[in-house]
Amino acid sequence: MPELPEVEVCRRGLQPEVTGELILGAVVRSPRLRLPLPATLGDTLAGQRVVAVRRRGKYLLLDCRGGIEDGCLIIHLGMSGSLRFVANDKTPEKHDHVDILFARQTLRLSDPRRFGVVLWHALGEAPHPLLAVLGIEPLADEFTGDWLFAVTRGRAAPIKPVLMDSHVVVGIGNIYAAESLFRAGISPLRAASRISRERYARLVAAIRQTLADAIVAGGSSIRDYVHSDGGAGCFQVDCAVYGRAGESCRRCGGVIRQVRQGGRSTFYCPSCQH
Ligand SMILES: [Zn+2]
């Protein structure tokens, strides 16, 4: 499943290709994704110029101006979605559900499992409900140790599910939560309310670094990501704890432990993380 770093790499790949470009229209071969595609999408997009490519959580936002109404094309890759540029005359394959047509190339969404989302949101309307519920961006300046300390007062839940709650902070998936907690030396089982301000500062730094490392790892293959026929792309993250149950900790030599937390697997080193 594409995680925040993959989506950010995708955004960085799209930005230079589509910013300032005119959209000629759209082809919707299958409107049945996670949410039904608007029937008028082609008409709405025709004549729009892309002025910016943003990201909010795992949503890609293409700001468009100059068509029948100004607004934003919202794309979520779901479980299995991928975007790539293809020649305008390239024959679509089975799971190629949506094309956004530009003069020089076509941006094609492939999504075998159909959990993706493609929506139009008119400028000036209230924030889209899908976006309005999202928490803070982990790479934003406002995401600090002090902020995380403040919002976790009175929270008895363990820190790991709190980090993975997109109403609190977006885009920290299971792997990134586990690796960040290891880097910060914090046990995933510790109650969120029982972590000091200083340790939260270390945790925020670890989260930023872990995500940044994944973005850099993906950035080296950025052209492949949007230009090849490959899938959504899972980054090679060098995991210290995730998926390493029973193996030895690279820091202390102890044994990495695996437990279940809220239906998800959690990996940590009981010696290094408290
Ligand atoms: Zn250890």
| Centroid of ligand 1 to alpha carbon of 210 (angstroms) | 18
d(CA 15, CA 261): 37
Q: Helix, strand, coil % (nearest 5) of the chain?
A: 30, 25, 45
Any catalytic annotation for residue 2?
Answer: yes
List, in order, residues 6 or more apart from 253 with CB less than 8 Å away. Answer: none
- Find the catalytic residue in 34, 190, 250, 264: 264
What per-residue confidence (pLDDT) applies to 232? 38
Is 183 one of the catalytic residues? no
pLDDT given at position 229: 39
**pLDDT block averages, 10 residues each, the chain of length 274:** 87 94 94 84 96 96 96 92 92 93 95 90 93 97 98 96 96 93 98 98 97 80 47 60 95 98 94 98
pLDDT at residue 224 in the model: 47
Q: What angle do CA 149, 152, 155 make, to 5 degrees?
A: 150
Tell me how far apart the alpha carbons of residues 74 and 56 are, in angstroms, rounded to a whole number.
Answer: 10
264 is catalytic: yes
Whether the predicted model's global pTM rises above the 0.75 cut: yes
Q: Is the CB of residue 145 less than 8 Å from the CB of residue 184?
A: no
pLDDT on residue 235: 56
Q: Which residue is catalytic, options 5, 8, 55, 58?
A: 58
**What is the Å distance from ligand 1's center to 246 Cα?**
12
Catalytic residue among 3, 6, 8, 179: 3
- Please report the pLDDT score of residue 233 as a whole number: 41
